Each structure stands twice: as structure tokens, then as C-alpha cells.
Structure 1
């Protein structure tokens, strides 16, 4: 059901997936240039190419493309001297032509071609930290544990590839994460001194001579002293700075490391995991980047220390301290500041009932610049480190991310978005004034309108959300309603998502309700606690309460409604299906079905078992109510989803068939299965399949349209 207004990019799935997307932002040391990572649809429509674009960070001007390669670029950062670093799998003229691993590249500030900085056999995972006043930086790279040198690691990788061995032997938990297997390589943090990058004829000649000597050694009979297979082989290039391993034998402690470098590059402060049986606790350590010597700064049993940030003068660190939650209650994200050596630790903003999602020191180091969910938005906050009250720097309907402080002016540069405006770069002055910056991805026109709605729950709590309305919705022409339930569950409907795009439904004439029920972030710890250890309780009744309030509007058709959600939203969709028949259709994506099964097969079982009592896990498991389902379900699951494993979708489908199939085995339910997708379904054409199938299912059951099947489903 298309919108009667002028056509927008959301009227066509082909047009929608072709919209360019700003994914990340980096700021130059002088604060004058922002570098954006922009994704654009490939010509064949099967994926996205990423490139770097420069825009003036002070406003005005036009975007300028910096990189252009078939493999794309991402993870941009600046060196202290203004050179641009990025990770790319683009060909290295001096490397192996068959190597497709991503390496670190440098684009000189003075101009010229980008040049490789690394040639690691397994590639570079990302840039972990750069220094404000030093040529030193730290990268993350995965290395095989059976080798002690870079050369030996390369030889061991080559042998595994030659023998076509993909097996992984584990001695720790877990074995996979979100959508990928863990191992056999382990993440390490490696220091690199950019000023050691040689680009002279003499260095190139020496590098070639060393490679020739290695090849000659390899052709020598083994009994004459050639290296055994799997030991040191080709020497690491002399023309490139040799990475220094700061974290030897890390096992899995650096899987989710968060790191920051002191301005002089001498000390790396990193949050890593201290392993404990199936899980662990996050600790903060300081590593001397010259010697590798490690000092533990913060470590408590049952407490996580995360998100370290270093002041611009190098004297202090800020971080989050969080007591690990239990079934009794959620716990707060505490903001602390200490000396760079961990001394004099003090909590700041103790009365600030928010969960910071990013931290950075202000330009003068007297405050922290933070982001946090807040009442359906995600503003930028200024938090004085002397104990003063936090203040909002932004006061609009946007969510801010990728926040970077301009050390020269004290302004902030960031990406911001809402449910009707995709991420775009902005500059935030110290007085809170926001100036949009140029972007190569202009904002597409949004169909319909957005308004804020709220109601009062049975226990007196305020429950709010966003309501997106199609153009023309009125008492004379009320719109069908989609209740769209967010995932998490510790989450909020406050920022744009390319994957979950309600404007696509609005363009087809639906009103979309995006509510924040109990467990949602941005409303204080007590609001989260209302649904803690009780997912089928207040979160469910909050959803029904705000749906009742919206259905009472004259411009909403309460006789044509559906519910949908993914992940926790899929759990709640399943719970809704087993507890009410008020909706005409329900879409449940990547959903939790049987909590006892899920909690032992997910990629982080200890967490889920830690936050539930056994009784609550049984009481609030949707699978116990399969016999009560009366609403047609569209079940969607990807086989590579390791957070909510495919077994959840398979068991849901099996039990629907057990209780609801007719004698011929047919059901009103449907199962959309993606053998090679993960938790989100990210390939562009698969996203099209997802939406076409969802809208066809809703059209049949909500709008009374004839059943249809997207042609690419065969």
C-alpha cells in the first residue's frame, strides 16, 4: 500500500538498498577535516564498497573522495602528523598477489598514493589506538598460537592453507561469537612506529635481497639446514616497521579489547578479559609499549572495568566500573576518573541515572564528553570531573555517536541520526549549537511523519515511544498498525538502523509504533529493573498498554494490526503470540523460543544464566505456550546466527507443526530461512527478500491481499 505523496527512496526496496551510508567518522589533529567512511552499493547489488571521504569539519565546503579501490577501505584514524590510516585488502604491489587479508595503509597528509604499513600473514583486524603526540600506534591482529615470530606464523598459516586444514582445537569457552568462529588465531595488540616506515631505494633493494635469500634457503635440502615446514620462512619486510607484540600468549583475553594510548605513545591502557571458567571479568591494565611490561590498574572479582579514555595531558584516565548483574537487579554503569597509574580513583556523576555509551575527555580535560540513551534520544553530555552536575550539550530528537573532541577549539564532531534521518556528520559548539557538515550521502526524503506517544502503565510508570504515520492517515482513512519491538533487551528505539527500517513500512501505508517498554535504556535503572528477571511481565504489559493508547487514536485502524520484532523483540513476539490473539499477524526474527535450550547454546551462556533465576527462565519461556498460539507467525532465522542459534528457530517451527499443522502438514505459519546469514541478515539482496516476504505476509493477513511469493524464492 504505497504512500499517496511524491515518491521517495523508501517506496522501492531497490532504491532503498542503493542509498549511500555514512558508517564512521575520524577527525584530523587540527580539527579542520573530518574523514567519513561511506558504504555504497556494488554495481551488481550484492554487497557494499567502502571508501573514505574528506569534508570540512568547520562547516561548508564539499565532500572530497580520498580512496578508491575494488576492496574498499574502513577503520580510518589519523596519526599525530595528520596522515590518514585505514585498513584495506587492496593489492600491495610488493606483496603476495593472492593475499586478500586486510592490511594497515597510510595516506600521507602531504598527498600522494596510499602505501602499506603492514604485511602480516593473517592481516590486520583494526586500529586499536593512536597517540596524539607520537608516531606510535597500536593495531589489533590475530596470530596463530603455535608460532613465536611473525615469520613462523606466516609459515604455519601457509601450511594450514596448503593442507586445507580448517579444524580448531579449543581449551577455553566460548568457541564462537555472534556470526563467526573463534580461533585458531588469537587477537593480539601490536605496537607500530610509523616513523620507522622506510621508502628508499636502498631499503627496497635490501628487502628484495632478503626475500631472495629466503627462497634460496627454502630450495636447499632439509638435511642441509633448510627451515622445517612451519618454522621461520620469508623474513618480514625491512621496508615496513616491524610490529611489536605487546600481548604475547593472550589466549582469548583480547577478543573485545578497548584501548587508549597516552599522548606520547609510551603507555597503552587497555580493558581486557580475565578468564573465569565459562566467562570472565573485565580488567584494566597498563602496558609499556617499549618493553611490554604490564601493570594491572583495576581488577575486582565480580566487577567489570571498561571503556578507558586518556586525558589530553596524559595525566588521567576515565573508565566505567560495573558490578556484574545478578537475577536480583540490574546494576549501574559507574563513571570513574583516576591518575594514569590508577591512583586517586574517584567516582563522578554518581547521581546521574544514565548508562554512558562513550567517554572522551573535553579539550581542557576538566570534563568528560559522553553519550547515553535518554528518553528516546541519545544526547551528548558534558560531565565535570570535579563532581559538578552533568549537563546536556544537545537538546534535540537525535542520537549521537562517533563523538570526537576538537582539541583546538573544544567543539565536538560526531555523527547523529534519528528514525527519519540517517547518520550524518555534525559539529557541536561548546554552547550546544549544532552545525550539519557536508556529506557525500545526502539525507533522503522521509515518507509520512513522526510523533512522540506515551501512556501510563498499570504500576504508574511512564511508557513512551515513537509513532511513524503515513501521509494521509486520518479519521477518514486510518492506517493499519505495526507494533515493532526492539531487541536487546537493554536498548532504546532512538537511532537510525539500516537493517530495521520502519520508513519502508510507512511508505506502504502502515503506521509503525516503536515503543520503549520495561528493560529499555534511557529511563533510569528503576525502569530497567521493572522487567529484570521477568521478561514476560512488565515488558509485555507495557507493550500492550502503549498499543492500546495508540489504537485509540482516530488515525489508527485497530482492526488491522500486527506485531514484529527481532532478537529480544523476537522473543517478545513469541511471547505475544502465546498470550493474546489481538494481532492479525506476527513476525518473529532471530527469536528466543526455549530459554533453557537457548541459555546453553548461545555464544555467551554464562551471562544469560547469571541474570535469570532457574524459576524465571522456566516461567518466562515462550515455548510453554505454543498450544495457545492463534495468530499466523512468520518465523525468520539465519543459520550463522550464533547469538540466538538456529536451534531456536528450528524448535519453534517443529513445535508449531506439532500443535498446529493440519492432517496434510500445512500451517498458516511460514519459515523464512537464510543458510548463510547471521543475526541481522545483511546482504543487500537478502534484505530485499526479507522485506518482500514480510510485507507479503502482512499484506495477506493484515490487509486481506492475495498470498504472494517473492520471485527469487523460487
Structure 2
């Protein structure tokens, strides 16, 4: 996909193959003494059909280049350190007897030598946590409900495999999640055994309680605190916090709120307390709210950030236990904040234009994290106690084919609406693409490999990334003003942001298009039925008929709390199909369980039969439908992500620029 703008510099964004080959950093782990830091780096395989991830060691001082530690043919993930400095990780490593074994737990000794397998289970290992001062290691793994031993588990899985049985009998909700069919295995927490022993099941007969579990191991390894899902009215689930003794498996509910979900437990370095996040249940009239809480064992709970108008998104303790370090969306960024665990006072620690994730605390008040923005993909950094941030050598950050600036607009109700604006390097006014983020409780504040505006900037487009009503990082009132009224304030905010961008002399206001995925796809559909100002609209994984969507999404109980039937009808894009006169590109993956394929199928049929641009008598239409039978909500396979961009840019080029672009041969 070569750039079409003569002045555009040669960057990896000028060619899709170069872009897809960029290495991708994810995750971070720090040894208990702070002397070692590791991350994972994913690189494209030789066939260019998937990414293989390896563990790399970083120099905590930021002077030496990164050093690769693992080289398994199928990659490694989820690194974590033991108290004595050994490195644990997950990997699936083929053998002569099995070329696709389940993921197992491996250990790389700090003293040197080869990595060795610690624990292999028939259903694989999903997650691992290690005590920071003790010898206890706990994993999450799926076990079949009727299996009584690991040997029995292996027999039953072989029985299903040999007979090609995929059926699952459910007795409760949910039955699938995002892109995963749940069951027949149920997640358990297991204590990793001494060599030769079977793992100890800490959570026998958990049912569906540990799906999507967050868990932490106490520093001395004596107990685990985990999220634990319990049934709620209307086939709903809610998350409480459970304390599990690692010696006996004794379980105790330690935090339980009937109309809130509790998650992200983080145990204090001395084991005396657990911090966690609390999300209140929404109602059709009231948006949810996320706050930071702390339970001191024997002393009760405290909500620490009830007066802070931000939503904490992650929490870790400082190494000395005197502070809680949280991240939170804020004004198009996601800084680090320090929260006093006694008073709840909040102090901002970073003030740059980045979003921070994967925060790890080290002795001496040092923090390590990943940070990214729309100007840089995720990369590891060290944050010193004085606030100085040092980038750690890992992968080179790519040059960008343009510039990033901020834009502020005023909505009809007077609200401030801010955006990022990506501008290509060209001398004449650029055509504008309005990109609408998903969520909707989200923000355009960090790098995205899937929705990357620089690929379009390399083709000469400007890309507008607004945060309309419902976006996070602007306070509770900004979320509330769009709650239950998706077609009102959020739509008006998007149009105000577009007006402000079009007033910029660097933008060609006559050549514009709108794009969005998930909730952004919903908004793209709504935009299509309410304005003709755009020349083309791309709608990906989008909600179309809200009455149909509500009961078919993977978390229908959440949707039932968000809108009444009357609200859903008033905000459903399908009711305005007759007003659509803009060519639309519909994109959907069949394995999308969050926004099921039925939304796209109905949208496609109604575009062809009931829109203002129906199909011709011969069946041809200006609308197009890009369908991925094997993909889900995000379309992640490199070969399919490439086709996604090729089809999208060809569609935009035709309708926005008035020129035809050849479609890829791989479409057949």
C-alpha cells in the first residue's frame, strides 16, 4: 500500500508489510529486588500469518540494549519472577508426540542454564502468580467438571478429542465471552507442586466463579485474593473478592457489594491489606462509577477516591507499602497517580502526553511501566521518585508520516470536546477521516495497532480522534451527559469536533468520511442515518438494531441494566435506514460474540433493501460488506488485518478521492 502523497516521508506506515513487521511490546515484570526487568516482544513469523512472542530482559538503568531470553518455536508469554529471582513464563513447546501441546508453565533459573517445564496440564495453564517473598506459586487453569484427578482430566479430554466432540452442556450464564466459547473446562486456582507431585486444587467445584478472574498472591504465599463471580438476578453475574488459604483451600468472602463489581485486587507488601477497584452497577438513568478501595484485614473497608473525579483503571502498591499507584484516563492521556492509602489524597506523578500501563513497583520508590500515545507505540520506561522518566532500550520507535496536535470544540450544550488530530505531511489541504472510538467508556489516548491513524496519514489523509460524551478522562458528568442517549450528546459532540477540524485551513472540508468500530460502529451507523455530510462511512463490528442486540451479546445482563426497551428503540440506528444516502462499508467477523454477526447481516440486508441507496435491479450496490468467517471483534490475524486496511483504503479512495484502487488478489 504505497503512499500517494509526494511529500510523505518513507516510514513503516507507507507499506502494510513493513507496518505489520514492526515488533510489538506488551507486558512487564520486575524482580522483587528491582535488579531485573523483562517484557515480551512479538514479531511476525516467516509465513506472516501470526505473531510469535519472546521474553526479553531490559536494562533497568536504561543504558544497555535489551537481551532476548527465550526462543521457543511457538513463543512465550506472561513472565513473572519468583522470590529468588527465577523467571516463570507460559509456553507451548511441541514434542515428538504432540506438535500442538497445551500451554505449560516453565522456569528459567536466575543462576543460568536452560528453561525447564514446571507444570503441564491437559487443558493448559492460563495465568501465573508468584509470592514475592515466599515459595508459593499459583496458576489459573481450566479443569473439566467431572474430572477427579489430573489423570482423569487427561482421559476425559482425550475422549472428547478422539471422538471429535465439541458439545458443551450449560446450566447457567454466560456461555461465551468476546471471542471464546466457554466450557467445558472451568477455571480453577491451583498451587504449583513440588517436582513429581500433582498440583493442589485450591478452588474445587468453582462453577463459573473464576471466569476472567483477577488474583494476587500474598507476599509470604499464605493466601490468595481473587475475584469470584456469583449469580445475580436476571441471569446476571457480579464479582466479589474471595480470600483463599493456599495450605487448606479454605475460602472466605472478604468484600461483597450487592450492586457493584469488585476487581483488580492488589495485596500490600506486608500482607496486611488488599486494595481493589469497585465499579457500581449502572441503571438506565445512572452511569457506572469506578473508585479505589482498600480493605485492611481486621479493620474494615475504605473507599479512597470517592471525591476524585477520575476512574482508576489499575492499582499496585509501592514497594514499601506507603502508597498506591494507579493509572486513570485524563484529558486524552492516562498518567500515573499516587494515592495515600490512609487519607485517599491523590497526587499526579507524570505530566507527559502518554498513557501508562503494566505498572510495576521496585525498591527505593522506583516504578517501571509501559507507556504509549498516538505518537509512539508501547515502550518500557523507568519512573524515578523525583518524577524523571527514562525510556529503556527495547525496540526502536518508528518515524511518523505526519504530526499530532490537539483540537478543542464546543458542543451545543456548552461542553468542551477535545480531540487528537493527525495531520499528514502535505502542502495542500488534506481529506479528513473522523474516527469514532469504541467502548463507549473509553478514550483515544494510547497507541492502537488495529486502528492506527498513521497508515491513513501515509496515504495523505488527516484523521480526527475525538472523545465525545461517554468518553472517560473528563469526569463523571461528561459520561453521564451521554448515558442512555447515545444518539444525542455523543453524536452532537462528534459533529462539533468535525466542524472544528474542518475550520482548519489544513483540512479539505469537502472531502470527509467517518469510521468506527464496536460502539464507534454504532455511532457510524447513527451518523449515516442523520447526516449526508460525509462521502463514505466505514462501520466495523457495529450495533445496528438495539432490540436484537441486547439479548444476543455475550453479556446481555449488562445491557439490560444500561437501557430500557424504550431507550433502546429511541437510540437504535436501524430505525433511520431510509435516511441513509452515504455509501457504507460494513465489516464483521463471524466469531464476534460481543457484537454478534446478526447485527451485520441485518444491517447489510436493510442497506440493500430499505436505505436511500438500495441495490440496483442487477443487485449491485455502492455499499460493500467485508466478512471474516474466522475472525472476531478485532480482526487480529496479520493477513486479515492487511486485507482490512486494503479494502478500507480502496473504499475511501473511491468515494472520498474519486479514484479506484486495485483490491488485493487474496480476496479471490
The TM-score bracket by the shorter chain reads over 0.9
Aligned counterpart, 2:186: 186
**Counterpart selection for 2:279 from 317, 322, 325:** 322
Larger Rg: 1
Match of 2:658 in 1: 704
Correspondences of 1:605-644 after superposition (within 5 Å)? 605-644=556-595
Other-structure match for 1:507? 458
1:175-254 → structure 2 map (5 Å cutoff): 175-193=175-193, 196-197=194-195, 238=196, 241-254=197-210
What RMSD in Å do the two structures reach over aligned CA positions? Answer: 1.2
- CA offset digits 1:672-696 (Å, max 9, x no partner): 0001000010010111100010000
Show CA shifts across 1:429-465 (max 9, x none). 11211000010x2101011000010111111111001
Match of 1:358 among 304, 307, 314: 314
1:98 Cα deviation after fit? 4.7
Determine which of 68, 73, 82 is the counterpart of 1:70: 73
- Aligned counterparts of 1:2 and 1:508: Cα–Cα separation in 2: 6
Counterparts of 1:319 and 1:19 in 2: how far apart (Å)? 35
Residue 667 (structure 1) aligned to one of 585, 601, 621: 621
Conservation of the 8 A alpha-carbon contact between 2:8 and 2:424: no
Counterpart of 2:431? 480
Provide the rounded CA distance (Å) in 2 between the counterparts of 1:296 and 1:389.
28
Task: Mark the runs of 5 or more structure 1 residues left unpaired by the alignment.
Answer: 198-237
Q: Deviations over 1:170-225 (max 9, x none)?
A: 111121111111111111111115xx23xxxxxxxxxxxxxxxxxxxxxxxxxxxx
Which stretch of the first structure deviates more once superposed, 273-282 or 644-653?
273-282
Q: In structure 2, how many angstroms separate the alpha carbons of the residues matched to 1:290 and 1:91?
A: 33
**Alignment check: 8 A CA contact 2:5 2:426 kept:** no
Runs of 4+ in 1 over 4 A off after TM superposition: none
Q: Does 1:369 align with 2:325?
A: yes
Distance in 2, matches of 1:478 and 1:145, equals 62
What pairs with 1:443-592 in structure 2 (closer than 5 Å)? 443-473=397-427, 477-592=428-543
- 2:221 is matched with 265
Query: What's the counterpart of residue 382 of structure 1?
Result: 338
3-state SS of the aligned residue for 1:409?
helix
User: Cα distance, 1:624 vs. partner?
Assistant: 0.4
Equivalent in the alignment of 1:301:
258
Report the alpha carbon displacement of residue 33 of structure 1 after superposing the two structures with TM.
1.8
Q: Does residue 142 of structure 1 match 2:97?
A: no
1:596-632: CA deviations, max 9, x gaps?
Answer: 1111111011101111021110000000000100000
- Secondary structure at the residue paired with 1:183? coil
The answer on 1:414 being equivalent to 2:369 is: yes
Count of residues paired in the alignment = 661
Query: Distance in 1 between the 2:439 and 2:314 partners?
Result: 18
Looking at structure 1, the residues matched to 660 and 98 of structure 2 have their Cα atoms a distance apart, in angstroms, of 53
Tell me if structure 2 keeps the 8 A contact 1:3–1:508. Answer: no
Instruction: State the distance in 1 between where 2:422 and 2:33 align.
Output: 41
- Which residue does the alignment assign to 2:248? 291
| Equivalent residue number for residue 235 of structure 1 | none
C-alpha contact (below 8 Å) 1:349/1:387 kept by paired residues: no
- The 2-side partners of 1:164 and 1:340 are apart by 49
- Write the distance in 1 (CA, Å) between the matches of 2:566 and 2:98: 58
> 2:424, 2:243 → 1: CA distance?
53
Partner of 2:381: 426
Residue 28 (1) aligns with residue 31 (2)? yes
Whole-Å Cα distance in 1 between the matches of residues 31 and 321 of structure 2?
A: 19
What is aligned with 1:230? none
Residues 604 and 643 in structure 1, CA contact (< 8 A), matched pair in contact too: yes
Is 2:545 the partner of 1:594? yes
Matches within 5 A, 1:31-110: 31-91=34-94, 96-98=97-99, 100-110=101-111
State the Cα distance separating 1:31 from its structure 2 match: 1.0
Q: Does 1:256 align with 2:212?
A: yes
Further displaced range: 698-707 or 480-489: 698-707
